[in-house]
Amino acid sequence: MKFPSFLPLLAGALLVASPLAVTAAEAPASSMAAPAKAAISRIDPTFWWVGMKNPKLQLLVHGPGIGGSTVALSYPGVTLDGTQKLENPDYLLVNLTIAPEAKPGKLNLEFRGGKKVTYSYELRQRTTPTDKTKVQGVTSADFVYLLMPDRFANGDPKNDVVKGMNASRVARDSMYARHGGDLKGVEQHFDYLKELGVTAIWPTPVVENDMPKASYHGYALTDYYTVDRRYGSNEDYVRFVQRAHQSGLKVIHDVVLNHMGSKNYLFLEQPAADWFHQWPSFTRSNFRDAAFNDPYAADVDRKLYGEGWFDTTMPDLNQSNPLVATYVIQNFIWWVEYTGLDGYRIDTYPYSDRNFLMQWGEAVLNEFPQLGMFGETWVQGNGQQAFFARNILPPVNGFKSNLPGVTDFQSYYAINEAMTKDAGWTDGIAKLYYALQGDWLYEDPMRNVVFLDNHDLSRFYSVIGEDFAKYKMGLAWLLTTRGIPQLYYGTEVLMKNFSNPDGLVREDFPGGWAGDKKNYFTAAGRTGQAGEAFTYVSKLANYRKTHPALHSGKLTQFIPQDGIYTYFRHSDAGTVMVLMNSNKDEKAVDLSRFAERLNGFSSGVEVTSGATLADLKTARIPARTAWVVELRK
């Protein structure tokens, strides 16, 4: 998610009226487990599992006056550790220990207050440790496709508008309204993604976002345990993940730790004031991540960064409260076990409490060590970016990140400069070299996600002036450099526009709606350069998939000279040489400079064109061209 001060799409669009009260009758059906006359409206987590590595479970019980109740239970292997009242009498915390020998079943919780109420809480059998089709992880062998479900394809028009939800209409001519895309629409185009060479799907958040305005993006969640019904049901999402796995596609779940939407029931009826960062009047974050670890930072700057709200409709969670921390940690363990998803992308990662970030990462990876995880780190500088991933640095202010990878904004800045500025000693294409030179800071830079654009950024094709030669250069770099490549939906068919001022980077994918004049999901509909672009990406992505040197091999890069950047991906399975000429004219290159990697090879084949390099002594590279050359002995 982008800093609101720099993105009118978020800054001005999310203003809403004062919060309204919510009743139990308005709670999602999937959250309602008690009889209609019961005093309990919901319990979070909505159900749990036996066999978890952490035997402790914190239940947040919500209902009129429930805080005055005592609790009793009798279930083999489950111990009641006690209850805790909260400031709001409509909440009660129930703490349990679930022993390893406990069996799945219905756990009857008896609440005794004004009257006795029995709530049947479900304990399920855990499946992820033994089912290898679940939680497959995300690695550098993957090619990630980022999409916005509301803007990708409408597979079920019947769920476009859901009675009782705040957005009461679909308006495709408004960038801030719902457009009707859903999970079924994405699923209907799995074959398209497979043809493109995609191996993992990253949808922006699919959890409920029942906000009056700009609810389509999902980053102001209003129910931690419910899929947005305009995308489908919880059960639909489970089937979506299963069918993706059956199609050879992984699923990355986009999560928000730092904040929620102001229509979330937890904010409308706050369990306690200290569950949120409270200010006398609305106070926005200063968005200065440097304050997180600046040894000279003023206390006020550090407080504003971490405790200021992201936006007026995004209450900032107080994760230093251990009850809040546990609630959030349990939720994201719940989603993995429930669906079998493969990875987490963590929105606004650096904004959260530093101790909480370490607790969250440890808890999630303890239950699912194979889970892929990378955080959004929209920061400046290699050192600052590495600070938020597993790195070789000492702890700072008690913080030592355990996050496997991050979104690599440093290489994003570099590829944009390489395509838009002339080469210099440290400028232009030289930036790519220096972006990767900083990899010594990481435990494993191959876990970082590289990209050309995303839902917060101007589209790459527009940034480079709709220059198709530069476009192919950028895609060649994306699919051959180190790390996990991520493509933003539509980049493969030359979708364009800028994030400022009107947010058109979130347009609908052509062909995703009945009656669209263009349909880029079909080869017949991808005419002209859109078709050529798709073919180029598909050819290179599918080649990458079957050549371990490109996705798992070592990288050797040479200092750029005369506007040409050369690097090699190599392993026992083969060697690929990439030559990038950023100049406006053709350049002759003396390949003898690369002898240490060329020794033993006599020729090469350019992967995308099939052209042969008969010898490896010299090469004449056309202007604005990247060659991806498979070396032959």
Catalytic annotation, pick one of 376, 408, 492, 507: 376
Distances (CA, A) of 534 to 192, 471, 506, 538: 11, 12, 19, 6
How far apart CA 529 and CA 205 sit, in angstroms, is 31
Who's near 306: CB < 8 A, 6+ residues apart?
Answer: 285, 291, 292, 351, 352, 353
> Catalytic annotation on 347?
yes
Buried (b) or exposed (e) across 605-617, using 16+ Cβ within 10 A? ebbbeeeebeebe
How far apart CA 196 and CA 187 sit, in angstroms, is 15
Q: Which helix (DSSP H) or strand (DSSP E) does residue 629 occupy?
A: strand 625-632
How many helices (H) and strands (E) would you count in the chain? Answer: 17, 26
Cβ proximity of 294 and 347 under 8 Å: no
Cβ proximity of 50 and 125 under 8 Å: yes
Who's near 110: CB < 8 A, 6+ residues apart?
Answer: 71, 72, 73, 116, 117, 118
How far apart CA 274 and CA 456 sit, in angstroms, is 31
Who's near 305: CB < 8 A, 6+ residues apart?
Answer: 285, 286, 287, 288, 289, 291, 292, 351
Distances (CA, A) of 620 to 161, 280, 338, 491, 558: 58, 66, 55, 29, 18
To the nearest 10 degrees (0 to 180), the angle between helices 322-339 and 234-246 is 50
Catalytic annotation, pick one of 254, 337, 347, 439: 347
How far apart CA 211 and CA 157 sit, in angstroms, is 20
Q: Which of 544, 521, 572 is nearest to 450 (CA)?
A: 544
DSSP string, 553-620: SEEEEEEEETTEEEEEEEETTEEEEEEEE-SSS-EEEEGGGGHHHHTT--EEEETTT--EE--SSEEE
The first and second tokens of residue 23, run together, are 């009743």
> Catalytic annotation on 408?
no
- Residue 310, SS3 per DSSP: coil
Active site (catalytic) residues: 347, 376
